[in-house]
Amino acid sequence: MAISNFRFENLSRATQIGVFAVLVLCLSFAFYMYYLKDRIQRHDQIRAEIQELEKSVQQGTAIETQLAQFKKELAELEQRLAVLQSILPSEKETPGLLRGIQQMAAASNLKINKFQPRAMVPRDFYSDWPIDMVVEGNYHGLGLFFEKVSQATRIIDVDTLSLQNAKEQTDPSRTLVAGCTATTYVFRDVPLDPSNDNPTMKEKKR
């Protein structure tokens, strides 16, 4: 058959359908390669970016939640520390604490015969500070002193109490001599380092 005499309508029905199918496939392939493929790749890229952003947002939300919890816990710790510092004086405030104990004794009509602070005993975050005292007065004054000590904002423990009658005293307000150890507690700004302050650890190092 000459090409000049070729007519599409002269082809058989099956051949025409086959030609149309090939043309459709070629056009579809060209459309996919030159247009749809880039669109699909861009869509997948955008979707991946969205998923990454969503993941970052979730992580950021989790971090923000943790940060809020940490801030809350920090505020609670600072509040507890403030309460603790109001009960335990710092080492810088110890002169005022000594004056306070002496003033409580004087206000209870007790004569201070001995007032001797001992060396501090370091603990974890505080130090024990024992003070040896000998006072002269009567039972009423001694009871009043103990009451003032128990009501003080600072923690003061009184132990090793010894009592004896005052000798050669005619003054009714000076009938009793009392010896005791008043132990107060001082806040440590730096926690105890077991390697430096623990005698047991020192013995092991030796």
Q: What is the pLDDT of residues 67-126, one digit of tens each?
A: 788 788 888 877 777 776 667 767 666 788 788 888 999 999 999 999 999 998 988 778
Q: Are residues 28 and 110 in the same domain?
A: no
Measured CA distances, 130 to 84, 103, 120, 148 (Å) = 19, 17, 7, 18
Q: Are residues 100 and 178 in the same domain?
A: yes
Q: How much is the pLDDT for 133?
A: 92
Q: Are residues 157 and 117 in the same domain?
A: yes
In a domain, 81, yes or no: yes
In a domain, 196, yes or no: no
Answer whether 178's CB lies under 8 Å from 146's CB. no
Q: Read off the pLDDT of each residue in 37-60 and give the average, rounded to a whole number.
A: 76
What's the CATH code of the domain at 125? 3.30.70.60
Q: Are residues 108 and 52 in the same domain?
A: no
Domain closes at, from 56, 87, 118 = 87
Residue 178: domain span: 91-187
Q: How much is the pLDDT for 60?
A: 75
Buried b / exposed e along 93-119 (16+ C-beta atoms within 10 A):
eeeebeebbeebbeebbbbeeeeebee
Tens of pLDDT, residues 152-186: 878 888 988 999 988 877 788 888 999 999 998 88
Q: Annotate the chain with three-state secondary structure.
A: CCHHHCCHHHCCHHHHHHHHHHHHHHHHHHHHHHHHHHHHHHHHHHHHHHHHHHHHHHHHHHHHHHHHHHHHHHHHHHHHHHHHHHHCCEHHHHHHHHHHHHHHHHHCCCEEEEEEECCCEECCCEEEEEEEEEEEECHHHHHHHHHHHHHCCCCEEEEEEEEEECCCCCCCCCCEEEEEEEEEEEECCCCCCHHHHCHHHHHHHC
In a domain, 206, yes or no: no
Q: How much is the pLDDT for 34?
A: 63
pLDDT tier at 38, thresholds 50, 70, 90: low
Q: How much is the pLDDT for 16?
A: 66
In a domain, 173, yes or no: yes
More confident residue, 8 or 157: 157
Tens of pLDDT, residues 110-158: 999 999 999 989 887 788 889 999 999 999 999 999 999 888 878 888 9
pTM comes to: 0.53
In a domain, 40, yes or no: yes
Amino acid at 184: T
Q: Are residues 119 and 95 in the same domain?
A: yes
In a domain, 1, yes or no: no
Q: Are residues 81 and 159 in the same domain?
A: no
Q: How much is the pLDDT for 200?
A: 39
Domain closes at, from 87, 118, 136 = 87
Q: Are residues 128 and 147 in the same domain?
A: yes
Q: Are residues 37 and 76 in the same domain?
A: yes
Q: Are residues 99 and 61 in the same domain?
A: no
In a domain, 142, yes or no: yes
pLDDT of 65 higher than 60 = yes
- Residue 201: Cβ within 10 Å count: 13
Q: Which two tokens stand for residue 133?
A: 């005292």
Q: Are residues 98 and 40 in the same domain?
A: no
Q: Are residues 41 and 70 in the same domain?
A: yes
Structural domains in the chain (count): 2
Q: How much is the pLDDT for 132?
A: 93
In a domain, 192, yes or no: no
Q: Read off the pLDDT of each residue in 33-54 and give the average, rounded to a whole number.
A: 72
Q: Are residues 155 and 180 in the same domain?
A: yes
